[in-house]
Amino acid sequence: MGIFVQQNMHILIAIDSFKGCLSSMEVAAAVAAGIKEVAPQFTVTPVPVADGGEGTVEAVLFATGGQQVFTRVTGPLGRPVAAFYGLLPDGTAVIEMAAAAGLALVPADQRQPAQTTTYGVGELIGQALAKGCRRFIIGLGGSATNDAGIGMLAALGWHFLDKNGQPVEPVGAALRHIDRIDEQNVLPELASCRFTVVNDVTNPLTGPAGATHTFAAQKGADPVTIAQLEEGMLHFAGLVASHTGSDKAHLPGSGAAGGLSFALAAFLQAQLQPAAEVLFPLLKMEEKIQAADLVITGEGRLDSQTANGKLAWQIARMAHQHQKPVIALAGEIAPEAYDLLHPDLDALFAIANGPLSRQEAMQPAVARQLLSRQAGEIIRLIQTTGKIIST
């Protein structure tokens, strides 16, 4: 069924961040600018979205109000870094683990996941606790760590001791040396807290598809280090199962953020949920889709992972439930994406308009220009044909 172009079309823009380049808000602004240049009479509604990684706090605060709290915590290398979290009107704290332990905080020549820590994530939780927060949404993604969350737990009062009763450094390399877990100094307020973990990763903690074998190399680990980290993960998982009476190592998603998800589930009884389940109600995504004539979604790269439940696919599925046409914009489109995604996305467009290196294309000014230009051309096409054909 075709949707005929009206004088004032309502276009919803809900595109994930182009990671390492533009935030979701910046992507939406660039697309909106391109549309408005061609059709200033159109109504454009930008909705920042995020999958639990970079931009999660921004997206939730944009939709719900609240405030962004700026602070300093221990970074992934053990040095102070500037960080932040969101404080919602209902008292919920929204935390991006990447703000305190993200890969972007580690210079490329210092990336070594055996020596990085999630300690700063625990400090963010502790600071929000001190403000009275008892409900937490923790976004996982873009981590520099592989410490199974012991850094975060150490900041909240857990002690991890070796066979001599000495505390170990809360980094990935120490996991295989932990002999005992001491909870005497754990913050008592945590017992009354509710944690929701947001991520779109289904990897378990250990094994060939686990945190270490899947992600550690991207964070700077060589094969020898990967083997040592996996040994540590297996040892720690067994110790935690004995300590808590529950084995969370095989829980889908427990391998997210270098195993931070595992620690949140095992020690803080966190619920692990896909980003769409948690964030779409907060963003009122369904209401916004229903009000639109056209939905533009996308992400930095459309590929087979997109079809496995990433946000662009989730938005497209919701849009089609309401018989709304969906167009996707991406920095790059993998060859397999066309066959995999066309049942849900009516059209896919890459923004590059000529040979560009990845480094060139990821310059923010270049990406903004390409997004705006491609969005404008899409609107010109719609105006020329006089209707949008939905599948």
List, for residues 190-217, the tens digit of each pLDDT value.
Answer: 999 999 999 888 899 999 999 999 999 9
Average pLDDT, the chain: 92
What's the pLDDT at 315? 95
**135 three-state secondary structure:** strand
Does residue 220 carry a pLDDT above 60?
A: yes
Q: Could you give the residue range(s) of every CATH 3.40.50.10350 domain in the chain? A: 2-46+293-389
pTM for the model: 0.89
What's the pLDDT at 287? 96
6-15, 78-87, 370-379: segment of lowest average pLDDT: 6-15
**Reported confidence tier of residue 1, pLDDT bands at 50, 70, 90:** very low
**Reported confidence tier of residue 307, pLDDT bands at 50, 70, 90:** confident
The larger pLDDT score, comparing residue 20 to residue 236, is at 236
Does residue 291 carry a pLDDT above 90?
A: yes
Rg over alpha carbons for the chain, rounded to the nearest Å, is: 22
What's the pLDDT at 6? 56
The larger pLDDT score, comparing residue 111 to residue 343, is at 111
What's the pLDDT at 309? 80
What's the pLDDT at 21? 83
242: number of CA atoms within 13 Å, CB side?
9
Distance CA 30, CA 13 (A): 10
Distance CA 253, CA 251 (A): 6
What's the pLDDT at 5? 54
pLDDT in tens, 102-116: 999 999 999 999 999
List, in sequence order, every residue forming a beta bridge with 74; answer none if it has no partner: 80
Please give the full DSSP string across 222-284, using - where no structure is assigned. Answer: -HHHHHHHHHHHHHHHHHHHHHHS---TTSTTTTHHHHHHHHHHHHH-PEEE-HHHHHHHHHT
Percent above pLDDT 90 for the chain? 75
What's the pLDDT at 2? 45
Distance CA 75, CA 119 (A): 7
Does residue 233 carry a pLDDT above 90?
A: yes
**Reported confidence tier of residue 7, pLDDT bands at 50, 70, 90:** low
Nearest to 371 by CA among 37, 41, 45: 37
Contacting residues for 357 by C-beta, under 8 A, at least 6 apart: none
Does residue 91 carry a pLDDT above 90?
A: yes
Q: What is the mean pLDDT of residues 291-298?
A: 95
For domain 56-275, give the CATH number. Answer: 3.90.1510.10
The larger pLDDT score, comparing residue 68 to residue 19, is at 68
The fold for domain 2-46+293-389 equals Rossmann fold (3.40.50)
Q: Could you give the residue range(s) of every CATH 3.90.1510.10 domain in the chain? A: 56-275
pLDDT in tens, 347-365: 999 988 767 777 787 888 9
